Amino acid sequence: MAKILLLGSGELGKELVIALQRLGQEIIACDSYEAAPAMQVADGFEVFNMLDASALDAVIERHQPDYIVPEIEAIATSLLVEKQQQGYTIVPSAKAVDLTMNRDKIRDHAAQLGLRTARFAYAESEQDLLNRASEIGGKVVIKPVMSSSGKGQSTASNEAELRAAWAYALDGMRGDRQRVIVEEFIDFDYEITLLTIRQHSGDTLFCPPIGHVQARGDYQYSWQSTQSSQAVIDAAQDMARQITDALGGAGLFGVEFFITKSGEVVFSELSPRPHDTGLVTLYTQDLSEFDLHARAFLGLPIPAIRLLRPGASQVILAADGARGAYHFSGVEDALAVADCDVRLFGKPVARPYRRLGVVLGPDVETAQKSAACIRVHTQ
């Protein structure tokens, strides 16, 4: 049995803990707040600021884990680089975690590899953003270089919108870096996440592409599999293999792409861990993304990845203005919709647009019908 230190304890971490425990592992779940979802099922937990390198170092030295598994971006990744040099195993690798903590690092890395990306620049002030957006021209997308689940992301087409986008990005930033990436708006047909699995030995594996739709920079619903052409799939797999090989290590990566109306595949982002859009694999695949991540970094066999059935996920969100304690109604009605399942995450409090659960179903329409039955009530 291995001891695993999980850095980040949200809903994805919760499912990963369950997958790991089924394989006989011990998990210590960490986050900045008590009663986080993964803590509710882990063997132990720690509450501290993971951006505090000293606090993180103390927790690592106290537990002496066999694996350190980040689940979020807001971590003192420079310390993890040092810890890997000292002999600790960082999943999937310290390089992957460090480069992807900030969008500027991974975007620069993708460009250096020659991957097709949107044209982009960086800005560190409102005026800087206005200048960079003018150079790119047209509609642009503004994202904090460090945030989670798309927070702080918006689009802008004029000066007023750019000023509002700067303020919104500042509000959504995590960490201490006041910097945004500004990129050309890609007029895409649809977006996909390609779950990519690197193994200690053996070929890189891929799940069938997952389509998804976002709002406010955060995923709202996803489906698997997409109607992507083989040419699109081949191009996405080639780029995903290139960038994950360059990052190294073993584990699951969520690699996002834009697919244009002409069929061009454009690299968007990468997460070196299970992906929120991949929650649908709990419904569709014989091995979920959490099972695959666990097996890959533990060095366990993955004989095949089978799509058992098509499926979709629809998030359950707190309303704008929601704060504090909450409860649900309508869960029974949601479960009465045929072939649907409800997963409530157990987050301790609500806040505006916070993801509190997900409905899994056979297709987007049915999953959305089930999710529409559920209401989130705050006091």
Catalytically annotated residues: 148, 150, 256, 269, 276-277, 355
Task: Output the CA torsion sign for 328, 273, 369, 339.
Answer: negative
DSSP per residue, 251-285:
EEEEEEEEEETT--EEEEEEESS--GGGGGHHHHB
Which residues neighbour 81 within 8 Å (Cβ) at sequence distance 6 or greater? 94, 95, 98
> For the CA atoms of the chain, what is the radius of gyration?
20
Which helix (DSSP H) or strand (DSSP E) does residue 193 occupy?
A: strand 188-198
Return d(Cα 220, Cα 316) in angstroms, integer: 8
Phi, psi of 338 (to 5 degrees): -55, 140
What is the per-residue burial (b if ≥16 Cβ within 10 Å, else e) of 210-224? bbbebebbbbbbbbb
State the burial class of residue 264 (Cβ atoms within 10 Å of its Cβ: 0-12, 13-18, 19+): middle
Name which of 375, 347, 167, 364 is nearest 277 in CA terms: 364
For residue 184, list its beta bridge partners: 140
SS3 377: strand
Return d(Cα 29, Cα 32) in angstroms, integer: 11
What is the token pair recorded at 130? 């206005």
CB-based contact 194:237 (threshold 8 Å): yes
Per-residue CA distances from 170 to 125, 178, 331 (Å): 10, 7, 36
Phi, psi of 64 (to 5 degrees): 50, 60
Write down the residue that tokens 């409102």 correspond to.
126
CB-based contact 103:40 (threshold 8 Å): no
